[in-house]
C-alpha cells in the first residue's frame, strides 16, 4: 500500500497520539506513536519516519530520555522534518493546519 509518507508522533498523552495518528492515517499517511523518550529513540531508528511530531513538554520524560532523543535525531538525520508541539487546554488542536504546514 502506497502512503504519502511516514509520521512519528511523540507525546506522553495517549489521547493526543491516538487522535493525531488516526487523523494522519485518514489523510493517507502511515503513523507510528511513541509515548516515551525510550520508545521514540527505538522507533525513529526502526520506523525511519519522514516527519516527527514531538511534544515539547519534556517534564513528563524520565531522566534524560528527551535530550537523548533530540541528540539521536540530530546525529542520525533521522527525519526530513521535526515539528515541535505544545498543546494546552487554551490552544486548540488543529491537525488540518499542521498537515498543511507539513506538506508544503
pLDDT in tens, 20-60: 999 999 999 999 999 887 788 788 878 888 888 887 765 55
Phi-psi label, residue 19: left if phi above 0, alpha if psi -120 to 50, beta otherwise:
alpha
Total domains, the chain: 1
**Residue 39 located in a structural domain:** yes
Residue 89 in any domain: the answer is yes
pTM recorded for the entire structure: 0.72
36 occurs within a structural domain: yes
Alpha-helix residue ranges (DSSP H) falling in the chain: 14-26, 37-47, 65-76, 95-103
Please name every residue paired with 31 in a beta bridge, in sequence order, or none if there are none. 7
Q: Kindly report the CATH number assigned to the domain that includes residue 51.
A: 3.40.50.2300
In a domain, 1, yes or no: no
Range of the domain at 72: 6-103
Question: Does residue 84 fall inside a structural domain?
Answer: yes
Amino acid at each position: 500500500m502506497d502512503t504519502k509518507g511516514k509520521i512519528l508522533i511523540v507525546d506522553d498523552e495517549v489521547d493526543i497520539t491516538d487522535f493525531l495518528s488516526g487523523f494522519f492515517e485518514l489523510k493517507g499517511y502511515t503513523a507510528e506513536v511513541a509515548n516515551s523518550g525510550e520508545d521514540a529513540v527505538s522507533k525513529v531508528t526502526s520506523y525511519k519516519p519522514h516527519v516527527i511530531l514531538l511534544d515539547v513538554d519534556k517534564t513528563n520524560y524520565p531522566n534524560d530520555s528527551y535530550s537523548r532523543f533530540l541528540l539521536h535525531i540530530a546525529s542520525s538525520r533521522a527525519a526530513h522534518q521535526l515539528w515541535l508541539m505544545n498543546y494546552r487546554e487554551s490552544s486548540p488542536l488543529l491537525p488540518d493546519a499542521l498537515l498543511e504546514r507539513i506538506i508544503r
